[in-house]
Structure 1
Amino acid sequence: MEIRKLNSLRALAALIVFFTHFSDVTNWLGGTLGGGAGAYGVMLFFLLSGFLMSYLYLHKDFNQTTVMHYFLARVGRVLPLYLLVVFSSYLLSSSGNDSLYNIPDTNTLLGHLFFIYGESVLWSIPPEIQFYFIFTIFWALAKNRAGYIYLSIVAVMILLFLTNFPRIYGDINGIPFNEFSVLRTLPFFFVGAILGMQYRSLNIPAYLQKHGFLLTLFLIPLMYPEFSPVATADKSRMWLSYEVLLVMSTVFFCTVFLVPDHNVLLANRFGDFIGKISYSLYLLHLPIITKVNQWQLPVEIKLLLSFGLSVIAAYLSYRFFEKPIALAIRKMAPSKRVPITAN
């Protein structure tokens, strides 16, 4: 069963990142939409990822066939464009051209290919890939030992809090790594996974399902550094604040569980379209914004051009590159079911 609202949430996440980067690069509106606020869009992406993994797979048997289908689906969705962008960035950077992302040497390239380091917006892909492997542990426990999923999530989140999210980064024989970026994202994946586990069984009373819960989305801009009423360091810590996690989780829960499925602002063709191309929009928009900003044009025209060109590039990538390759990779999945022992 498709949850159409998730398309619009994915679109919102991509748009938050786009407008944040546009504000940072061009100083649009005095940079008030920037200041790292794109993190809230990425948080939504990670909540969505954890939710969808649980919703789509935890009710299925854990065996060789389903696990293979799972990994091929994830690989087909994420890796083709990521690898294209990474290798293109490396080749361009090696020739002195940083029109994509700065990957200047082989060691930095290997950091991206091993999913332990990411330049610019590419930083978010290694946590996503590493969570895919963590999720298989949850999946193995889901049928007979689901309680261990909750226990392990709570234990890890308490440990991260008590250790203040360890800064684990550096290099191995010159290859950069940054596991801090993974650790700080885990709580968002975990909360999404827990909510996904509950979606099929949680019976929300009809009197609680109101369109007005959509207003919780306005809590997101209230957390922007320029707009936040919070006066403590939490307004700038973002990823390291469990208060931010609470607010983002509340927004996600209210939107997915309490807003009616037929809400016109969440179930519409624009949300469907931007949601489908959101991944390519996320990876490709920043180089386009940077290039457009070099042109001597009014900032409003730069905004229209940046958004229009980003959407066109994302659509072309999705339609003619990502989707065909993803379908081809999915067809590689085996059909014979071989049980896996999950003890």
Structure 2
Amino acid sequence: MEIRKLNALRGIAAIIVFVTHFSDITHWLDGALGGGAGAYGVMLFFLLSGFLMSHLYLGTGFTPRGVKHYFVARFARVVPLYLLVVFASFTLTQGGSDLLYHIPDHQALLAHVLFLHGDSVLWSIPPEVQFYVLFVLLWLFAATRRGYIYLLIVGSLLLLFFTNFPRIYGEIQGVPYNQFTVLRSLPYFFIGVIFGLHYKTLTIPPYLRKHGFILALCLIPLMYPELSPVTSDAKNRMWLSYEVLLVMSVVFFCVVFLVPDNNILLANKVGDFFGKISYSLYLLHMPAITFINQFDWVVEIKLVASFALSTAVAFVSFACIERPIAGFIRRSADVGNLKQTERARPKARPF
């Protein structure tokens, strides 16, 4: 069953990242909406990722066919467009243009292809792909020893806290890697997994399911470094702060569990649209902003033009690249499964 309001939440996450980068690049509002605050949009993406994987798969049987279907679906959703952007960025960089992202040599290209490192917004894709692999272990636990999932998550959170999130990065034969980005993102994926585990079973009293809980989204701008009333270093450490993890988890819980599914501000065609193009919008908005920023326009005009161009490019990417390739991969996998089943079926013997 589709949770429609999550489409809008995914779109909101992409727009948060867009606004932050626009503010940083153009110094709109003196950069008050920048300062790395796009991290909060990426946090929502990781919470959503963990939640949806847990919600969709942990209640199903752990079988080779199920795992194959899972990997095909995840691969088709994320990898093709990412690799296309990576190779296009590498080609353009070799030609002296950073229109997309800066991938200067074959070592950097290999790091991106192996999901070890990512330039600019591409940094978030390697953790996401690595979480796909980690999730299979959680799925295995869910089939026989669900309690181990909680032990693993709590133990990991404690370990990350007491080791101050180890800075694991460097180079191997000139190929850069950065596992620090994976470790700092892991708590958000884990919390999403826990929420997904309980979405079907947690009973929310009717008197608590109120449209007003959508206001929890207003907690996000209150954590922006230039807007936050918080005086601790949590507003600057962001990914390394469990206080931020708590607030983002509260926001996510309120929207997913407490806001009614028919909330008009989340369950609507606009939310559906931006939810569908959110991945393309996330990957391709930076070149659009950079392109528009070269014109000598009023910053508000740049904002409208950047958002319009980013949305148009994202829609074309979704309609012409992302969705067709994902559909082709899924159909090819289904055909392969059908042929394998037919080969395994006993042949009828003639009399």
TM-score, reference length from structure 2: 0.95
Query: Could you tell me which residue of structure 2 aligns to residue 287 of structure 1?
Result: 287
Identify unmatched segments of 5+ residues in structure 2. Answer: 342-351
Distance in 1, matches of 2:105 and 2:25, equals 25
Q: Separation in 2 of the partners of 1:115 and 1:215?
A: 36
Deviation at 1:143, TM superposition (A): 2.1
CA deviation after TM superposition for structure 1 residue 296, in Å: 1.0
One-letter amino acid of the counterpart of residue 317, structure 1 = S
Letter in 2 for 1:138: L
Please state if 1:70 is matched with 2:70: yes
Residue by residue over 1:73-120, the C-alpha shift from the partner in whole angstroms, topping out at 9 and shown as x without a partner, is 111110111001000000110111111100000000000001010000
Q: Is 1:116–2:116 an aligned residue pair?
A: yes
Residue 225 of structure 2 corresponds to 225
Q: Which of structures 1 and 2 has the larger relative contact order (alpha carbons within 8 angstroms, sep 6+)?
A: 1
TM superposition shift of 1:216:
0.7
Give the letter aligned to residue 305 of structure 1. Answer: A
Give the TM-score of the pair, scaled to structure 1: 0.97
Q: Quick one: distance in 1 between partners of 2:251 and 2:276?
A: 21
Shift of 1:320: 1.1
Q: Corresponding residue for 1:129?
A: 129
> Aligned ranges for residues 1-343 of structure 1 at < 5 Å?
1-331=1-331, 332-333=333-334, 334-335=337-338
Give me the whole-angstrom Cα distance separating, in 1, the residues matched to 2:85 and 2:320: 15
Q: SS of 1:176's equivalent?
A: strand
Q: Secondary structure at the match of 1:170?
A: strand
Paired residue type of 1:6: L
The residue identity in structure 2 corresponding to 1:108 is A
CA–CA separation in structure 2 for the residues paired with 1:100 and 1:217: 31
SS at match of 1:184: helix
**Aligned-partner residue type, residue 176 of structure 1:** P
- Please report how far the alpha carbon of residue 71 of structure 1 lies from its aligned counterpart in structure 2 after TM superposition: 0.5
Per-residue deviation, 1:234: 1.1
Gaps of at least 5 residues in structure 1 are: 338-343
Pairwise CA distance, 1:23: 0.4
> Could you say what secondary structure the match of 1:143 adopts?
helix
Q: Structure 2: which amino acid aligns with 1:157? A: L
Aligned to 1:177, the other structure's residue is in SS state strand
**2:177 partner SS:** strand
Give me the whole-angstrom Cα distance separating, in 2, the residues matched to 1:305 and 1:219.
28
The superposition leaves residues 2-60 of structure 1 with CA deviations (integer Å, 9 ceiling, x where unpaired) of 00010010011000000000000000111100000000000000000000000011111
- Alpha carbon RMSD of aligned pairs, Å? 0.9
Q: Deviations along 1:230-260, whole A, 9 cap, x unmatched?
A: 1111110000000000000000001100001
Aligned letter for 1:221? P
Give the superposition deviation at 1:141.
1.0
Please state whether the residue corresponding to 1:153 is helix, strand or coil.
Answer: helix
1:134-185 per-position Cα deviation (integer Å, ceiling 9, x unaligned): 0000001112200000000000110000000000001001000000000000
How many aligned residue pairs are there? 337
Identity percentage over the alignment?
64
Partner Cα separation in structure 2 for residue 3 and residue 313 of structure 1: 26
Partner of 1:340: none
Letter in structure 2 aligned against 1:167:
R
Distance 1:123 1:286 in 2: 13
